[in-house]
């Protein structure tokens, strides 16, 4: 009998190519099945198992070590990453999810891993669609989780997305494999738990995990069409330079969905924030731009210009962005000589005032001030995006990358 998700595993791993791959395993039934299936379906691959211990329960450290023992029994290497960043405020599950992704991303980069598999199932997909429906999400939100997604050079794969949780548990029972149930999965304080309970109660109405997963699949197909339309329009009217995106006046003639997609995409592209702004904020920014007024959105400043609309970094959003020189800074690559005591930070009005020839760059004043400056002890050393110097500032986000950003991977 074929193992669950055998075909999906093989297809996704073939597309990912050879090399070591990560398995994110918490010890619950879904991720435990993921680990055992991976070891069976592709035993020749160099699998690396990682567990994030959020430290939110007394038993979490023991559970993480138990995953390590299970991985060792399969001949797999295992690492534990600790997160102790919860301060008791905000959305716990969202904060934990973001921290988990960031920790795993760093772990993968350090280990030379380009692919990480996650244990999300069809039930998780249905719960995600239900929660996003409650928030009034559009096509993108209702398309749910992607089976494969590339982010910052790392491929996140979900080979179990077509399988139900109960199918995987039946398989584990049949193999004599145990797992650990996280009590927080029954805590009604969390949105996902309430969505799970609501889904179980909606069976009589014909609302099932399978049906919601099919809805997500159809929405994903619709999303692909919309993304192609946005990418096509971006290729016609968009330009990207000096860390900003300019959208030509053809933006205002585009259909609502395409126009909003371009505006949101530009804000995400410029700010580096992977999450789209809310529609209400987007509409407010659009209304201001149409009226010829500047407006902030998503860490960006929207500036009406003669040729259309410029979306650039908001000065205040860059105040805390500081890095070493040479190195990377806020979407720029800074090249130059190694010297002690140097840092890269936003040029700002004060820095721009120290650049008498900045107009030779051709950049408007608002954009010039959010380019990088090379600083030593509060004194400007160079403004490499504005003047010729031994330093060079190369924007990492160009027009082609902006156009590609509209296509899901």
Contact 347, 368 (CB under 8 A): yes
Residue 409 pLDDT exceeds 80 = no
Comparing C-alpha atoms, which of 264, 400, 244 is closest to residue 330? 244
Arithmetic mean of pLDDT, 278-292: 96
Residue 346 pLDDT exceeds 90 = yes
Residue 57 pLDDT exceeds 90 = no
CA gap 211, 192 in Å, rounded: 18
Q: Per-residue pLDDT tens for 167-176?
A: 999 999 999 9
> If you average pLDDT over every residue of the chain, what do you get?
93
CA gap 271, 268 in Å, rounded: 5
Q: Per-residue pLDDT tens for 102-111?
A: 999 999 999 9
- DSSP of 52-120: EE---STTHHHHHHHHHHHHHHTT-EEEEEE-----S-S-HHHHHHHHHHHHHHHHHHHHT--EEE---
Sheet holding 295-297, edge to edge: 238-241, 244-248, 308-313, 300-305, 295-297
Helical axes 29-41 vs 165-175, angle rounded to 10°: 60
Backbone angles phi, psi at 174, to 5 degrees: -65, -30
Q: Per-residue pLDDT tens for 366-389?
A: 999 999 999 999 999 999 999 999
CA gap 259, 287 in Å, rounded: 12
Between 275 and 399, whose confidence is greater? Answer: 399
Backbone angles phi, psi at 165, to 5 degrees: -60, -40
Q: Where are the alpha helices (DSSP H) in 177-318?
A: 191-201, 209-237, 256-271, 279-290
Comparing C-alpha atoms, which of 367, 258, 388 is closest to residue 318? 367
Q: What Å distances lie between residue 211 and 129, 142, 196, 264, CA to CA?
A: 11, 13, 14, 29
* Least confident span in 261-265, 274-278, 293-297: 274-278
CA gap 101, 103 in Å, rounded: 6
CATH class of the domain defined by 6-213: alpha beta
What pLDDT was estimated at residue 91?
79
Q: Per-residue pLDDT tens for 198-233?
A: 888 888 788 899 999 999 999 999 999 999 999 999
What pLDDT was estimated at residue 39?
97
What pLDDT was estimated at residue 1?
64
Q: How sure is the predictor about 148, in pLDDT bands with cuts at 50, 70 and 90? A: very high
Task: Kindly list the domain boundaries of the chain, sorted by start residue.
Answer: 6-213, 242-315, 320-395
């Amino acid at each position: 009998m074929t193992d669950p998700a055998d075909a999906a595993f093989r297809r996704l791993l073939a597309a990912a190519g050879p090399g070591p791959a990560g398995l994110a395993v918490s010890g619950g039934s879904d991720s435990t099945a993921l680990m055992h299936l991976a070891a069976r379906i592709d035993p020749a691959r160099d699998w690396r198992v990682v567990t994030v211990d959020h430290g939110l329960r007394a038993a979490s450290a023991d559970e993480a070590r138990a995953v390590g023992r299970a991985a060792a029994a399969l001949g797999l290497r295992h690492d534990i990453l600790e997160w102790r960043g919860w301060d008791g405020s905000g959305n716990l599950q969202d904060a934990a999810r973001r921290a988990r992704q960031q920790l795993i991303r760093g772990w993968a980069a350090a280990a030379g891993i380009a692919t990480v598999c996650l244990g999300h199932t069809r039930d998780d997909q249905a719960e995600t669609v239900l929660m996003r429906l409650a928030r009034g999400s559009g096509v993108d939100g209702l398309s749910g989780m992607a089976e494969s997604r590339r982010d910052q050079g790392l491929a996140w794969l979900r080979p179990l997305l077509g399988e139900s949780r109960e199918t995987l548990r039946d398989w584990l029972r049949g193999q004599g494999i145990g797992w650990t149930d996280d009590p927080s999965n029954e805590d009604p304080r969390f949105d996902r738990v309430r969505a799970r309970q609501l889904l179980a109660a909606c069976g009589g109405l014909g609302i099932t995990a399978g049906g919601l997963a099919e809805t997500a699949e159809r929405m994903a197909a619709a999303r692909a069409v919309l993304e192609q339309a946005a990418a096509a329009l971006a290729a016609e009217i968009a330009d990207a330079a000096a860390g900003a995106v300019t959208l030509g006046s053809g933006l205002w003639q585009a259909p609502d969905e395409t126009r909003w997609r371009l505006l949101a995409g530009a804000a995400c592209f410029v700010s580096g924030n992977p999450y789209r702004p809310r529609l209400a904020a987007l509409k407010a920014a659009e209304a201001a731009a149409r009226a010829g007024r500047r407006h902030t959105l998503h860490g960006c400043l929207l500036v009406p210009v003669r040729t259309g609309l410029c979306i650039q970094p908001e000065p205040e959003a860059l105040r805390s962005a500081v890095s070493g020189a040479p190195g990377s800074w806020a979407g720029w690559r800074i090249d130059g000589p190694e010297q002690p005591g140097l840092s890269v930070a936003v040029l700002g009005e004060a820095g721009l005032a120290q650049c008498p020839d900045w107009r030779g760059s051709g950049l408007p004043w608002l954009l010039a001030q959010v380019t990088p400056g090379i600083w030593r002890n509060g004194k400007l050393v160079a403004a490499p995006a504005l003047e010729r110097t031994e330093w060079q500032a190369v924007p990492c986000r160009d027009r082609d990358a902006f156009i590609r950003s509209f296509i899901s991977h």
